[in-house]
């Protein structure tokens, strides 16, 4: 199943797979909600999932798919390769992460590998992940800051609540970003929730 909010991308992928004997496109969806509905009906073996879509985004759809249909393998196919995107997708339980500039043979191989139970990563992402320090747990104080961020508090409000300076709040957040492998407040909250830290 192909999930992408751009019709041109879906058409291009479908046309490419029409030429491949052992890969059949059984469904298409333009956002995460449609993907969940189509997955129930079509029961695909593998889903190619874009990350940034209106409505329910790729990571949200992946989480729901993994809960409802753990047998379906999901490969992210996106133009985004930031640490935050990769980390959130991995935490959601993907079988692979590829970029849209991947050669067609690499994409075919990835689908076959995922369908057989294997995992696939774009070479650039695999290289970026190798040598990175393992994800560390935030300290209790860093988690206090993150809990307030999750409630929508700004740095000034967090500083006032915890009786610390705004600079200290920023320092705690920088440490949280590094430890969780993310690059934004929103991604930090999402990853922390996925890992049961919040």
Residues 124 and 147 occupy one common structural domain: no
Within a domain: 144: yes
- Strand segments, DSSP code E, in the chain are 2-3, 28-29, 46-49, 73-78, 96-99, 120-121
* Torsion angles phi and psi, residue 74, rounded to 5: -115, 130
What CATH number corresponds to the domain at position 17? Answer: 3.40.50.2300
Q: Are residues 181 and 135 in contact, defined by beta-carbon separation less than 8 angstroms? A: yes
The per-residue pLDDT string of the chain (198 residues; one tens digit each, 9 = 90 and over) reads 999 999 999 999 999 999 999 999 999 999 999 999 999 999 999 999 999 999 899 999 998 998 899 999 999 999 987 777 887 888 788 999 999 999 999 999 999 999 999 988 887 777 666 665 555 788 999 999 999 999 999 999 999 999 999 999 999 999 999 888 888 898 899 888 877 788
Domain CATH number, residue 187: 1.10.10.10
Count CB neighbours of 170 within 10 A: 14
Supply the pLDDT for residue 180.
85
Q: Look up the domain containing 157 and give its range.
A: 140-194
Nearest to 84 by CA among 188, 175, 173: 188
Task: Verify that 93 and 152 share a domain, yes or no.
Answer: no
Note the pLDDT of residue 110: 94
d(CA 172, CA 176): 6
Supply 7's token pair.
Answer: 């019709």
Is residue 24 located within the same domain as residue 121? yes
150 and 125 in a common domain: no
Query: Do 37 and 125 sit in the same domain of this protein?
Result: yes
Same domain, 16 and 105: yes
* pTM of this structure: 0.67
Domain assignment present for 134: no
Q: How many domains does the chain have?
A: 2
């Amino acid at each position: 199943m192909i999930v992408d909010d751009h019709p041109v991308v879906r058409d291009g992928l479908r046309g490419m797979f029409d030429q491949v004997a052992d890969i059949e496109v059984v469904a298409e969806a333009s956002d995460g909600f449609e993907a969940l509905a189509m997955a129930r009906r079509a029961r695909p073996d593998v889903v190619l999932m874009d990350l940034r879509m209106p409505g329910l985004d790729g990571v949200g759809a992946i989480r729901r798919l993994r809960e409802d249909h753990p047998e379906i393998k999901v490969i992210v196919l996106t133009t985004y390769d930031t640490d935050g995107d990769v980390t959130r997708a991995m935490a959601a339980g993907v079988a692979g992460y590829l970029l849209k500039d991947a050669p067609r043979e690499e994409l075919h191989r990835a689908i076959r590998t995922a369908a057989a139970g294997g995992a696939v990563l774009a070479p650039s992402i695999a290289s970026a992940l190798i040598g990175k320090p393992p994800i560390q747990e935030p300290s209790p104080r860093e988690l206090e800051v993150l809990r307030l961020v999750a409630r929508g508090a700004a740095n000034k409000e967090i500083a006032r609540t915890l009786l610390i300076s705004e600079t200290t709040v920023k320092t705690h957040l920088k440490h949280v970003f590094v430890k969780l492998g993310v690059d934004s407040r929103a991604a930090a909250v999402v990853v922390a929730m996925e890992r049961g830290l919040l």
